[in-house]
Structure 1
Amino acid sequence: MAEKTYPMTLEEKEKLEKELEELKLVRRPEVVERIKIARSYGDLSENSEYEAAKDEQAFVEGQISSLETKIRYAEIVDSDAVAQDEVAIGKTVTIQEVGETDEEVYMIVGAAGADAFAGKVSNESPIGQALIGKKTGDTATVETPVGSYDVKILKVEKTA
């Protein structure tokens, strides 16, 4: 069975690599030191500092494992390889909900780079799935858990 790939821009992969380095070189040693200090308090059966540090260690190790997998199976997407007016990872798209006047601008990114507050939506999100492969002037139907709505693609640009 083929491993799942993680489509992303080169910039997204580099960001993940920096995050992984931070976890391995800073966070992991900090947690190990906290465990060592907590152990010095004696009886581990009633040592809340020790339990908290072990929980944090498990969390950090889980993050490291997840990032290593995403980096290992990263599929770098070249937005220049698709038509200039086609929505793809690495493109910025301006849309308008049909029947509305407000425009919305989103950068399409891989799941690892999603940040709704910064206007970065994942290719795996409902809006990302609806827009990928569409072109300027097309209408796309966005399927959400609470219903669907149509958006018109006004502009597609390569993300700077």
Structure 2
Amino acid sequence: MTGGPEPLSAVAREALERELADLRTEREAVAVTLRDGGGDEVGDRADQADELQRADELDRLAGRITEIEGRLREGAVAGAPSTDAVRVGSSVTVRFADGTESTVQIGELANALDATLVTADSPLGKALLGHRAGDTVTYDTPEGRATAVVVSLG
């Protein structure tokens, strides 16, 4: 990518916001199960191990929440996707070798519900990044090497 703040597509933003809400709910559920740390309860090793595992889970959840919040802030700072070269968030019309054209969105997160989304780390996504209208890109598919022409960015 560019090394600076990367734009965030609407689809990616929605997915991150949903994940963030789910993680916050999960974190609250795990936090409720932890003991307050004080008191005179004497538990066996299994209880202690379980509590340590829940504390580790809280740490993992907190880390992912922080990561998503940072990415959402970065996406807001980056502004709209570029229309001069393909970047994350760009909408790109490509013409494949068989003559068919397709408009795809370059995103960060795979979304099975959005057939037009191409992730930036997929073979086609990587090939398109940084290119402009009129450029021909080559990428690998399960059937072998393929080419596509960048028709337009929008």
Is TM (by shorter chain) over 0.5?
yes
5+ residue gaps, structure 2, are none
Displacement after TM superposition at 1:29 (Å):
1.8
1:150 is aligned to 2:152: no
34 and 108 in structure 1: CA distance in 2 versus 1, 3 angstrom threshold: same
5+ residue gaps, structure 1, are none
Find the aligned partners of 1:105 and 1:50 in 2 and give their Cα distance: 50
Query: What TM-score, normalized by structure 2, do the two folds share?
Result: 0.62
Match of residue 65 from structure 2: 64
Aligned positions, number: 145
Describe the SS at the equivalent of 2:139. strand
Find the aligned partners of 1:27 and 1:59 in 2 and give their Cα distance: 11
Match of residue 54 from structure 2: 53
Find the aligned partners of 1:23 and 1:116 in 2 and give their Cα distance: 18
Q: Which has the higher helix share?
A: 1
16 and 34 in structure 1: CA distance in 2 versus 1, 3 angstrom threshold: same
Find the aligned partners of 1:30 and 1:59 in 2 and give their Cα distance: 14
Displacement after TM superposition at 1:130 (Å):
1.6
> Which amino acid letter does the alignment assign opposite residue 122 of structure 1?
T
Find the aligned partners of 2:138 and 2:57 in 1 and give their Cα distance: 41
Find the aligned partners of 1:45 and 1:146 in 2 and give their Cα distance: 54
Displacement after TM superposition at 1:66 (Å):
1.6
**How much identity, in percent, do the aligned residues show?**
24
72 and 88 in structure 1: CA distance in 2 versus 1, 3 angstrom threshold: closer
Find the aligned partners of 2:83 and 2:138 in 1 and give their Cα distance: 21
**Contact 1:126–1:144 at 8 Å: present in 2 too?**
yes
> Which amino acid letter does the alignment assign opposite residue 51 of structure 2?
Y
1:23 is aligned to 2:20: no
Q: 1:76 aligns with which of 78, 101, 111?
A: 78
Q: Which has the higher strand share?
A: 1
